[in-house]
Amino acid sequence: MFLQPNHVSRCQRTIAIYAATVVWSGVLATNATLATTYNWSGNGGPNLMWNNPANWGGIGFPNAAGDVANFGNVITQNMTVHLGQTITVGVINFTEGTHSYTISGGAPPLSGGAASSGGVFSLILDNGPTPDAEVNVLAGNAMNHTIAADLFHSCIKDDVGSNTNLTFQGSISGGQAISHRLPTSNVGTVVLAGVNNFNGDVYVQGGTLRLGVNGSMPNGSTLKIYTPATVDVTAGVNETVQCLVLNDVPQAAGSYNSGNSLGRITGPGSIISTVMCPAVSEWGLLALTLLVLAAGTVVLRRRMAPKLA
């Protein structure tokens, strides 16, 4: 879903973030029979626990493949939700438009604000037997929701809508290739703010992908950017990739920035390509897909990536 016709998904598990309410409601209906749905109700302070059933209406908490976690308009201040343990979930929906949610792997601060010595936990995105695991973000507001916990999945896709930002602050790990696809009508921003060690490529087809730190993309990855999408490279970031492709044209090895990238790279930083990519011949390897879509979503998707000739 949300792939261009020549990029048909053969993914077995997908993580997606959808902002449009119509799309979101359809996705929920598709997955409803395969998952337990939990609605966040906690509003007793800025730091609350994911693994406390009281914060989910007292009926348990999402921690199984296929479970749905809804973070809606129930908070009156910015909220950090601490996992409290390693958590597995199939779908995360953010529909809060006034305050921001942050999903943290660390322990909440002690009374008085002192740092806690509690453990650090990870978020595993797994939608079980259904093809799509999702993180959905409501479009049309200026909120920045953040996944600060380390994230584990074999595929990633990001979708973020108008005036909406989604930040991945933790490390993204995955054993397959990665693709980042953004539709042309998207104007949202996905921020990679952590050092990542996924194993694969990134495709950007719309909106903005922001590289916030050195190591946002592994050195062995291929970066492909298509008009009108942009990759914004922040000050001090000189990101090394294996090869760079602009609008399906492989670029020579070298350093690329806002002045020599056909308008596809913005910001004061640069991207360093070590070799020229060979031509794409066919779809082959499983890929990790980052998608930023028009409605306002971030998605992690495993799909078939192209084989290089």
What's the rounded Cα separation, in Å, for the pair 29 and 3?
21
Structure tokens at 139: 């479009």
pTM for this model (two decimals): 0.78
Q: How high is the pLDDT of residue 300?
A: 47
Which residues on neighbouring strands pair with residue 288, listed in sequence order?
A: 178, 302
Q: How high is the pLDDT of residue 115?
A: 52
Number of other residues whose CB lies within 10 A of the CB of residue 294: 24
Q: How high is the pLDDT of residue 27?
A: 37
What's the rounded Cα separation, in Å, for the pair 50 and 62?
8
SS3 content of the chain, % helix, strand, coil (to 5): 5, 40, 55
Q: How high is the pLDDT of residue 221?
A: 84
- Give the closest residue to 96 by CA, choosing from 159, 139, 60, 152: 139
Concatenated DSSP letters of 288-302: EEEEEETTTEEEEEE
Q: How high is the pLDDT of residue 309?
A: 41
Residue type, 140: G
Do residues 63 and 88 lie in contact, with contact meaning Cβ atoms separated by under 8 Å? yes
Lowest mean pLDDT among 61-65, 95-99, 168-172, 305-309: 305-309
Q: How high is the pLDDT of residue 284?
A: 35
Question: Does the pLDDT at position 230 exceed 80?
Answer: yes
Question: Does the pLDDT at position 107 exceed 50?
Answer: yes
- Mean predicted lDDT score pLDDT of the chain: 74
Q: Which has more pLDDT, 103 or 92?
A: 103
Question: Does the pLDDT at position 215 exceed 50?
Answer: yes
What's the rounded Cα separation, in Å, for the pair 268 and 232?
8
- 3-class secondary structure for 104-116? ECCCCCCCCCCCC
- Give the closest residue to 306 by CA, choosing from 1, 2, 9, 69: 9
What's the rounded Cα separation, in Å, for the pair 167 and 261?
25
Task: Give the length of the chain.
Answer: 309
The DSSP output letter for 251 is P
The winner for highest mean pLDDT among 107-116, 171-180, 236-245 is 236-245
Lowest mean pLDDT among 12-16, 67-71, 140-144, 270-274: 12-16
Residue spans per domain, the chain: 14-107+116-217+281-308
Question: Does the pLDDT at position 16 exceed 60?
Answer: no
Phi then psi for residue 56, to 5 deg, are -125, 30
Q: How high is the pLDDT of residue 306?
A: 43
Question: Does the pLDDT at position 280 exceed 60?
Answer: no
Split at pLDDT 50, 70, 90, the class of 217 is confident
Which tens digit of pLDDT belongs to each residue from 20-77? Answer: 322 233 333 334 445 799 999 999 889 999 999 999 998 899 999 989 999 988 999 9
Which tens digit of pLDDT belongs to each residue from 127-175? Answer: 777 655 677 776 655 678 899 999 886 455 555 656 677 888 999 886 5
Q: What percent of the chain has pLDDT over 70?
A: 64
